Structures are given as C-alpha cells and as structure tokens.
Amino acid sequence: MFIIPIENKPDWSRPPLATLLLIIINVLVFVVWQGQDDAIAEQAEQHYQRAHLFEQERQLYLDYHHAIDEKRLPDDWQELKAPAQDALLESAIVWDRGFDHHLHQQQPWQQASPDIAARWQQDRQQFEQLRNRISSIQGGLTPADLKPWQFITSQFLHGDVMHLLGNMAFLFLFGFTLEAVLKARWYLLFYLTSGVAAGVLHCLQEQDSWIPTIGASGAVSGLMGMYLALYGLRKIRFFYSLFFVFGEIKAPAIFIFPLWLAKELYGYFYSDDNIAYWAHIGGLLMGVALVYLSRPLYRDFKANQQHSDADRQTQQTLRQIQQARSRFDFARAASLARQLSEQRPTDPAAWQIRYELAAAQPTSKPYHETTFLLLKQFVAKETPFNVWQPVVLPLLDHYQKNASKPIALSQNICTALSHRFYQQGNSAQGIAYLQMALSHPANSKALTDLLKRVINDHQRRGDHQQARALVLLLKQRQQPAPVTSS
C-alpha cells in the first residue's frame, strides 16, 4: 500500500531553503563520507584473511550461532559445498558485531598458548578498528552499543542510492509545505526531534541488536505525522496504489494516519526485511504530538488555510463573473460580484468589480446602493486607507460625473470621507467633501465636531481666512431654526 498527499505545489517564489539544505547534506554525506565505505570494507576483509582469523574463529562462530535465538545464517547454508560454506561463514563473522561482543566477553584466546593469544587478540583488535571506520558503524544507531550523537548522525546515512532517493523524495514532498508553515528554525528542530524519537523507540524495541540503523526515514515519518496533524479533518487529495490498482482519493487528512500506522505495524509483524518499522512509528507519533503541542503554530496554519481557501474561492468567483460577462449575462455577473464583495468586504478589488457592473445602469437603485456600501466600507476604521485610496478616488470621481443625483453621498458619508482624508493629510479632498457635507441642510454632531477640528487645524497652520470662513459656517449651523406661526 502506498498513499501520498498531492494537495500542494512548491512555491518557488519562496523556495524551501531548509528542506533543500537537508537534501544537500544527505547527498553530500552519502557521496563523501559513505563513498569511502567500500575501500574500508575491502581493507578490513583483507586484514581478516591475512591474519588467518577465520581458522581460529570458525568453530567459535558456529557455536555462537547455535546458541543465540537470532539466526544469522540461512537455513540451508549447510547444504552448500565447503568453499561456499566458508565464504558465507567468513562474511557473517566479519560483519557480526554481536560476535565481537561475545568474543570479548568469553576471551577464548586465553585458552591458547601465550604467543598465539597475543597475536590473535592483536589481530582481532586491528581488524575491528579497521572495520568500525565504516560510516554505518561510526554514525549508525546501534541499540546494543548506543552513543548519543548517533541519534543525529544516523539520520543522514543511507544504505544505497535507492534508499537515499526514496527518503529525499518524501522529505521534499512533505518538507516544502511544512517549512512554509513552521518556518526554518522550528521546522529543522521538529525534523531532528522526530528522528531522535524514531531512534529511541527503535532502540527500546531492539535493545540487544548489534545491527546499526541508518536513514532519514524516522525523521521523514515525523514530517508525515506533522502534515496529517496540521490538516486534521480537512479533506485533501491523496494518490494511492494497492498492488496494481492506482488512483486518487480525497479524504480527511487525519483519517490516513491509522492507515500509515497499520502499514508499519503489519510490516513489523509480517515482513522479513531489514526495515526499522518501529523507527517509522516513533517518528510518525512524534510528528503528530509536536503539532498538537505547538498550539500557536497550529492556529497560524489554520488561519493561513482559511485565507488560502478564500483566495481560491475568489479566483473561482472571478472566473465565473468573467464567463457571465462573456455571455452578456450581466444579471448573473452582478449577482456573483455582490456575493464576492460580501465574502471579502475589506477587499477593494471585489468592490471595484461590483461597482463597474452596477455603473452600467447609472439610474438604477443598485448603482447608488453599491456606491453607498463601498464608501461606507472605505471610511470604516479597519479598512487600510493606502490600499483603498487608489480604487476609491477614481470611483468617486466617476460617480459624481455619471450620477444625475448622487444620493449615495449623504451628509454622514461626506462627513466621514472628509474626516478620513484629513486624517491622511489630503486636505484638498478633505475640504471638498466637507463642503459637500455642509451643502446638506441637516445638522449632525459628527459634522459639527469635524468643523471644529478643521477650524483648529487651519488656525494652527496660520490659514486664518479659511478658519474664519468655517467659523462663520459653524455659527450659522448652530443658530436655532426660526419658529413659524401657523
């Protein structure tokens, strides 16, 4: 069973630098450090043969092999001819570090003559020193011989090219999305933490194993767990293969978690291979745990997802509006534009589209209503002025020229527009809409307060003539209306 997400694409305008760095390090370690392993292995094997250690250790290894539960030799090895048997046994001895440990505990050389014992012990020590320079022994995680740094170094070692390519493909697949969410520092920390957790669980399950564990699979499994936990119940697309069946499904992300977990457990109990399934499980569980423990990051991701959803919905609505326009279905286009402005009330582009469609009928009620609502949104405090001004100013100019009676420019709207422009230092527009507000006969507290602030502003700037004119207007508006007799 093979299931991978295909929901997102890399954003190369913001490349996943930390993910690419991890891939580069893994490749360099494989080429530079692990590239020396074949030469080291050959040197160690040649030393083992030259020292004639096989003749001294052959029977000891057979006794050891029969005594342990873990069978290191194939069941039918005895059916091989003598040279083939010896070649198989010698290779098994060279790479069986459990047998090294057994020899050091039993010290069989003590039973030999002093000259043979000294030579045997010295040759064995030299052989182990040569062989243990191999990267998987130096940096791999060996449960029976733990060294703290190996929890990190083992994550950057791989068994062969296909092992490396497989892990790097999954690292990139999950990494570019997670790095964008977590940012580089937390992403790298969570990646390494998942790898360490993978190593810890593997060691707990295989405490007596002398076989080194290598690979980024545990850390990558952590990324997989983080990915599923971040998306949670959100439905995303997955590609799957089951035997010879391939396809695509859309399912809540977290529903895939038990499938991945079951796959690893099945592999551990029923597969006969050298895959560290418990390391995969440990990384997967730690990835999920890290996301749920990092609530602020989780909330930020959810907010970003909602924003992305809104953007996708906007793009879809814009396409529908364009299609309706091309069919001359302006009623449909106007309806969609209205929905868009209601979904994105603080987006000036949405309102501009709605206004342009309504302006096709300048005498209609929707035209004035759209203009009024647009201006009401513009003067709202939460609306960013610099974003809206380039859109609103041309629309205001267009409305005043095309509307025979600009009823959307009520006294309250004109007062609010004047106030907004004065706040932003645009006194020309401020005074223009103040005069429009004053052209309405009604009085309002907001207009009176604005007049007082504008008068003070002119006085501070030394524009006493304009200040006196406005003071006169203020006095006139504050005069009580005359009482008429019936």
Supply the DSSP string of 399-450, one letter for each residue. Answer: HHHH-SS-TTS-HHHHHHHHHHHHHTT-HHHHHHHHHHHHTSS---HHHHHH
**Do 349 and 379 sit in the same domain of this protein?**
yes
Instruction: Give the burial class of 225: count Cβ atoms within 10 A of its Cβ; 0-12 exposed, 13-18 middle, 19 or more buried.
Output: buried
**Do 104 and 40 sit in the same domain of this protein?**
yes
146 inside domain: no
**Do 171 and 256 sit in the same domain of this protein?**
yes
Q: Is the pLDDT of residue 89 over 60?
A: yes
**Alpha-carbon span 268 to 273, nearest angstrom:** 9
267 inside domain: yes
Residue identified by tokens 């978690």 is 257
**Do 354 and 471 sit in the same domain of this protein?**
yes
Q: Is the pLDDT of residue 125 over 90?
A: yes
Q: Residues 127-136: what's their mean pLDDT?
A: 96
Least confident of 89-93, 165-169, 347-351: 347-351
pLDDT tens digits along 290-312: 998 887 777 777 777 776 766 77
Q: Residues 74-87: what's their mean pLDDT?
A: 82
* Structural domain containing residue 49: 21-138
398 inside domain: yes
Phi, psi of 408 (to 5 degrees): -70, -25
- Note if the pTM is more than 0.85: no
Sign, CA dihedral 361-365-368-370, equals negative
Q: Looking at 269, 293, 317, which one is the last position of a domain?
A: 293
User: How would you label 339-369 residue by residue, b for 16+ Cβ within 10 Å and e otherwise?
Assistant: bbbeebbebbebbbbbbebbbeeeeeeebbe
Phi, psi of 250 (to 5 degrees): -125, 120
Q: Is the pLDDT of residue 30 over 90?
A: yes
Percentage of residues in the chain with pLDDT exceeding 90? 41
Q: Is the pLDDT of residue 133 over 60?
A: yes
pLDDT for the residue numbered 90: 93
pLDDT for the residue numbered 481: 47
Q: Are 134 and 37 in contact (CB under 8 A)?
A: yes
392 inside domain: yes
pLDDT tens digits along 244-284: 788 888 888 888 899 889 999 999 888 878 899 999 999 99
Least confident of 154-163, 278-287, 474-483: 474-483
**Do 119 and 204 sit in the same domain of this protein?**
no
Q: Is the pLDDT of residue 485 over 50?
A: no
Residue 447 C-beta-side C-alpha neighbours within 13 Å? 25
Phi, psi of 73 (to 5 degrees): -115, 150
Tokens representing 394 are: 């041309």
Sign, CA dihedral 197-202-204-210, equals negative
How many CB atoms lie under 10 A from the CB of residue 290? 23
**Do 250 and 377 sit in the same domain of this protein?**
no
Q: Are 277 and 265 in contact (CB under 8 A)?
A: yes
301 inside domain: no
**Do 420 and 375 sit in the same domain of this protein?**
yes
**Alpha-carbon span 245 to 470, nearest angstrom:** 81
Close Cβ partners of 341 (under 8 Å, ≥ 6 residues apart): 347, 350, 351, 353, 354, 373
pLDDT for the residue numbered 129: 96
* CA angle (216, 136, 146) in 5-degree steps: 85
> Containing H/E element for 4?
strand 2-5
**Do 71 and 9 sit in the same domain of this protein?**
no
pLDDT for the residue numbered 479: 52
CATH code: domain of residue 334? 1.25.40
**Alpha-carbon span 141 to 202, nearest angstrom:** 9
pLDDT for the residue numbered 23: 97
Q: Residues 33-37: what's their mean pLDDT?
A: 96
Higher pLDDT, 368 or 471: 368
pLDDT band for 14, please (50, 70, 90 cuts): confident
**Do 334 and 474 sit in the same domain of this protein?**
yes
Q: Looking at 138, 170, 201, which one is the last position of a domain?
A: 138
pLDDT tens digits along 211-249: 999 999 999 999 999 999 988 888 888 888 877 788 888
311 inside domain: no
Estimate the share of the chain in helix, then strand, then coil, as percent rounded to the nearest 5. Answer: 75, 5, 25
**Do 25 and 9 sit in the same domain of this protein?**
no
Q: Are 119 and 134 in contact (CB under 8 A)?
A: no
Q: Is the pLDDT of residue 480 over 60?
A: no
Q: Looking at 264, 293, 322, which one is the last position of a domain?
A: 293
Three-state DSSP at 238 gives: strand
Q: Is the pLDDT of residue 168 over 60?
A: yes
Q: Is the pLDDT of residue 354 over 80?
A: yes
**Alpha-carbon span 274 to 59, nearest angstrom:** 27
Instruction: Compute and round to an integer the Cα radius of gyration of the chain.
Output: 38
Q: Is the pLDDT of residue 386 over 90?
A: no
145 inside domain: no
pLDDT for the residue numbered 70: 63
Three-state DSSP at 159 gives: coil
Q: How would you list the strands of the sheet with 245-252, edge to edge?
A: 2-5, 235-242, 245-252
Tokens representing 442 are: 């009604």
> How many domains are there within the chain?
3
Question: Mean of the per-residue pLDDT values for the chain?
Answer: 87
**Do 256 and 353 sit in the same domain of this protein?**
no
Q: Residues 79-107: what's their mean pLDDT?
A: 90
Q: Is the pLDDT of residue 145 over 80?
A: yes
**Do 393 and 449 sit in the same domain of this protein?**
yes
Percentage of residues in the chain with pLDDT exceeding 70? 95
Of the candidates 449, 391, 383, 460, the one whose C-alpha atom is nearest the C-alpha of residue 419 is 449
Higher pLDDT, 296 or 374: 374
Highest mean pLDDT among 333-337, 433-437, 465-469: 333-337
Residue 252 bridge partners (DSSP): 235
Higher pLDDT, 113 or 138: 138
236 inside domain: yes
Sign, CA dihedral 310-316-318-321, equals negative
